[in-house]
């Protein structure tokens, strides 16, 4: 298993294709290419009966190039990284960032594959695959692609950041065009490892990254907001807008092809996190911030006793509850009154009452 890191706050756990499965896919593709080549060459050779011999030679060379180079390039472009051999084995070519392969990348892979397989009989591809930890051949290195396994273990798509309800209004008005991919990647990695960091390191690092993000986005975040909550809102809104652009592009492509299309419906970015609760909710310990929880087997650090201003200031200033929660059975204390949960309003901001994020 390997992890692809994208710039849209999404972690992709992928399974890199093994050398044996890639060899089977290449063998099937070679068989398909030879069959197609024999048929095409047969028809082009017949042109010598009715035309000059130079025409037959030229058409034959064109047919060879079209089959050996055009076949993988066209299939990988039209099917998003899959040839007939890869379809049979369950493989797909994707970009290094996890995106679909483009025409330029497919063309580079096809040209390099002609040299690797048809000129040197696959020896450069075999040597390079053994030396690369992700099994890349020369075409993958030149084009910036990777071959992944689609069958077997499913590909897990897990959003790292969800929209906190108390910052949804601010996030919808953000100008994110100046936010670079590198900074968004840094924020995503910080959120994905939030619970693995020591509290003092977690706060200082979050404040530094949030300050860098606040310099390139506008309007600035509301005062008193925790840095991890701000970063989660920015990345969730960024991912939401990218999904909206992709949906619009897909709808326009369907319209150009004359196929039934659908108009993407604008879904609020906070929909994944749920709407803000209308009042106190009976529950035990406060919910964590709206991003991924610690992975199984990873260390868990409790928040500091002085968490500062923000959505957790009313629930984390008191004594810390045990790891299993103050009410492991789900019961409330005597008297039937629920404790001060995280859903009580924590104040008022420019977008109305602020609530801590829901579970």
* Residue 8 in tokens: 């849209």
pLDDT for residue 258: 80
Cβ distance 92 to 17 under 8 Å?
Answer: no
In whole angstroms, give the CA distance from residue 164 to residue 127: 49
pLDDT at 183 over 70: yes
Query: What CA–CA distances, in Å, run from 204 to 71, 187, 267?
Result: 53, 13, 34
pLDDT at 75 over 80: yes
Task: Give me the DSSP letters along 144-206.
Answer: TEEEEE-SSSPPEEEESB---GGGHHHHHT-B-TT--HHHHHHHHHHHHTGGGS-HHHHHHHH
pLDDT for residue 312: 42
Does residue 200 or residue 93 have the better pLDDT? Answer: 93
pTM, rounded to two decimals: 0.45
Residues 232-282 have pLDDT tens digits of 999 999 988 988 888 888 888 888 888 776 655 544 443 333 333 344 434
In whole angstroms, give the CA distance from residue 20 to residue 24: 6
pLDDT for residue 299: 47
Task: Give me the DSSP letters along 79-102.
Answer: TTS--HHHHHHTEEEEETTSPBPP
Rounded to the nearest 5°, which phi and psi values hold at 247?
A: -65, -40
Residues 307-340 have pLDDT tens digits of 444 444 443 344 444 434 343 333 334 444 444 4
pLDDT for residue 318: 41
Of the listed ranges 17-26, 142-151, 157-166, 348-357, the one predicted with least confidence = 348-357
Neighbouring-strand partners of residue 147: 93
Query: What CA–CA distances, in Å, run from 97 to 5, 78, 100, 255?
Result: 6, 19, 9, 28
User: What is the DSSP-derived secondary structure letter of residue 352?
Assistant: E
Q: What is the maximal distance between C-alpha atoms in the chain?
A: 101
pLDDT at 173 over 60: yes
Counting residues of the chain whose pLDDT is more than 90, the rounded percentage is: 37
Residues 43-62 have pLDDT tens digits of 888 887 787 888 888 888 99
Residues 140-157 have pLDDT tens digits of 999 999 999 886 544 445
Instruction: Return the closest-CA partner of residue 355 out of 286, 291, 302, 301.
Output: 286
DSSP alpha helix (H) spans, the chain: 19-45, 53-65, 71-78, 84-89, 103-113, 123-131, 138-143, 168-172, 181-192, 199-216, 227-256
pLDDT for residue 55: 85
Cβ distance 332 to 338 under 8 Å?
Answer: yes
């Amino acid at each position: 298993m390997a992890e692809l890191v994208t710039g849209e706050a999404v972690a992709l756990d992928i399974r890199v294709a093994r050398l044996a499965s890639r060899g089977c896919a290449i063998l099937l593709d070679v068989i398909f290419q030879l069959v197609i080549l024999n048929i095409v060459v047969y028809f082009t050779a017949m042109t010598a009966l009715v035309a000059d011999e130079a025409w037959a030679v030229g058409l034959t060379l064109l047919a060879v190039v079209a089959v050996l180079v055009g076949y993988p390039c066209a299939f990988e472009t039209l099917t998003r990284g899959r040839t007939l051999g890869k379809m049979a084995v369950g493989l797909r070519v994707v970009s290094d960032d996890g995106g679909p392969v483009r025409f330029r990348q497919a063309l580079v892979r096809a040209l390099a594959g002609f040299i690797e397989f048809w000129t040197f009989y696959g020896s450069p591809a075999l040597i390079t695959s053994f030396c690369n930890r992700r099994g890349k051949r020369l075409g993958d290195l030149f084009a910036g692609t990777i071959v992944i396994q689609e069958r077997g273990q499913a590909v897990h798509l897990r959003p790292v950041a969800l929209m906190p309800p108390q910052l949804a209004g601010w996030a919808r008005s953000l100008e994110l065009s100046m936010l670079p991919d590198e900074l968004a990647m840094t924020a995503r990695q910080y959120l994905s490892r939030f619970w693995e960091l020591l509290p003092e390191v977690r706060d200082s690092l979050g404040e530094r990254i949030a300050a860098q993000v606040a310099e390139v986005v506008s309007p600035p975040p509301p005062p008193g907001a925790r840095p991890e909550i701000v970063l989660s809102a920015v990345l969730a809104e960024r991912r939401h807008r990218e999904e909206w652009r992709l949906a619009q592009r897909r709808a326009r492509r369907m319209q150009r092809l004359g196929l039934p299309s659908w108009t993407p419906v604008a879904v609020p970015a906070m929909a994944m996190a749920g709407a803000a609760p209308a009042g106190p909710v009976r529950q035990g310990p406060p919910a964590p911030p709206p991003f991924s929880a610690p992975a199984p087997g990873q260390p868990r650090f409790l928040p500091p006793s002085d968490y500062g201003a923000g959505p957790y200031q009313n629930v984390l200033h008191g004594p810390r509850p045990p790891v299993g929660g103050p009410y492991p059975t789900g019961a409330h204390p005597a008297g039937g009154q629920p404790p001060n949960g995280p859903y009580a309003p924590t104040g008022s901001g420019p977008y109305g009452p602020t609530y801590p994020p829901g579970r």
